[in-house]
Structure 1
Amino acid sequence: MHDPKDLDDYLAGLGISDADDDTSSPNLLAAAPAAAPAPSFGALSSAPSPGHLPAAQDPQTVLEHFLRGVARRFDPGLTVRVTRDGDHLSGEISGENVGRLIGREGHVIEALDTLAYAVVAKHVQGGEHLRVRIDVGGYRSRHFQMLQQIAGRVAAAVASSGESHTFQPMNPADRRIIHMTLKDNPHVVTQSVGEGNGRRLVVKPAPAR
């Protein structure tokens, strides 16, 4: 990141669109992905840019200041909470009408993850070693629970039918959730196949013992 750069440019550069207001999770059971390019982000109201972050090197202060600047551009009534646990830094934006900050299938949150990490890495000494995770309106908690439920249903179907199931392409974080959910299931095994954005997760019957 180069400063001082307007926050609108950061968001637009990450493909965040005010048309992407969808708090639903993806249909991960579908076999074919649905992809559409995101238009650039529209004009937003005035708020402090990341280039004007406080001089303090405390990562929680830096992340909170940045997220408040983002939240104010959508709704001044949104609240921000930042916590730290070791090298894990978590930011939560909550309030009404947070759909635009979630985006279609959560892609705006993923973009905010990337941007927030870059801000912390730039403005905090050693910040590049921190793990930054952003949630909006509890979306990620709900998404995590949904993935666990889907993994359980798919595993049961695979074990019953003896036939493998291939998910649509998903991001590494979602694949990992399903992998970890099923890793101790004695009836199935999981495997990632493919490359890049086309990488898929396959659930197979466990080999006979």
Structure 2
Amino acid sequence: MKKLAATASGKSVEEAVRSGLARLGVKEDRVKVTVLEQPSKGLFGLIGVKEAKVALEVLPDGVDEAIGFLEEVTGAMNTKVSMERHEMHDEVRIDLNGKDLGILIGRRGQTLDALQFLVNIVANRHSDRHLRIILDAEQFRERRRQTLESLSERMASRVVRTKKDIVLEPMSSLERKIIHARLQAHPQVRTYSQGDEPNRCIVIALK
């Protein structure tokens, strides 16, 4: 992505910075300032007066960087998508919309999870605060959550009925959290994880 930058002058460094910020339309915490020339009053304070000169470079916005990365990836995959950015208190959700997004979702969301991992790396490369980005496509995350919650209830009932532990298929840490949370308050079963990534899975057992 092209970096935004500008040079500005003023009677003082502070004035030059204010002028540059106004030109770029950003706040001071979003730029890197380099002083190119200090102000000088010149001879007798009149002749050869030299203004301060500064260079301002807008620091990359992590989410914009992430969206730019996604545009490159989806373009390379010949997939036409539109992106919606939703700012929340402690995270940013980027929704991908378009036709035939199955290639971006992958089996059980594995491709989507991989893209989300890379997007978070890109977003946090230059950010001075940690950004947490959730990537979704065709509301897959919500549909998958509902599927997992329904699965956990069915398996819990089976454990109660048969009095035998059930080991679920390997899942990502995010998906395991959904099942743990769903059955946390269950009166008759408990859950725990076993195994090593990427084959770590959940066990549903009687309390």
Q: Please give the range of the TM-score, normalised by the shorter of the 2 chains.
A: 0.5 to 0.7
Deviations 1:78-131 (A, max 9, x none): 1111122123121111111111111122111111111101111113232xx221
The one-letter amino acid paired with 2:201 is R
Structure 1 residue 114 and structure 2 residue 120: aligned? Answer: no
Query: In 2 relative to 1, CA 55–70 (structure 1 residues): closer, same or farther, beyond 3 Å?
Result: farther
Deviations 1:168-188 (A, max 9, x none): 222211111100010011111
- The structure with higher relative contact order (CA 8 Å, sep 6+) is 1
Structure 1 residue 186 and structure 2 residue 175: aligned? Answer: no
Name the CA distance, whole Å, in 1 between partners of 2:197 and 2:70. 30
SS in 2 for 1:63: helix
The one-letter amino acid paired with 1:175 is R
Cα RMSD for the two superposed structures: 2.2
Name the CA distance, whole Å, in 1 between partners of 2:133 and 2:84. 13
The aligned counterpart of 1:61 is 64
Deviations 1:148-195 (A, max 9, x none): 000010111111222111112222111111000100111110111222
Structure 1 length-normalised TM: 0.66
The aligned counterpart of 1:145 is 146
Between stretches 75-84 and 137-146, larger displacement belongs to 75-84
Give me the identity figure in percent: 28
The aligned counterpart of 1:34 is none
Structure 1 residue 81 and structure 2 residue 84: aligned? Answer: yes
Structure 2 length-normalised TM: 0.66
Larger Rg: 2
1:35-184 correspondence to structure 2 within 5 Å: 56-75=59-78, 77-126=80-129, 129-184=130-185
Cα distance, 1:76 vs structure 2: 6.1
Deviations 1:186-208 (A, max 9, x none): 111011122233322110112xx
Name the CA distance, whole Å, in 2 between partners of 1:61 and 1:194. 37
Structure 2 residue ranges without an equivalent (≥5): 1-56
The one-letter amino acid paired with 1:121 is N
Name the CA distance, whole Å, in 1 between partners of 2:145 and 2:166. 20
Aligned length: 152
The one-letter amino acid paired with 1:130 is L
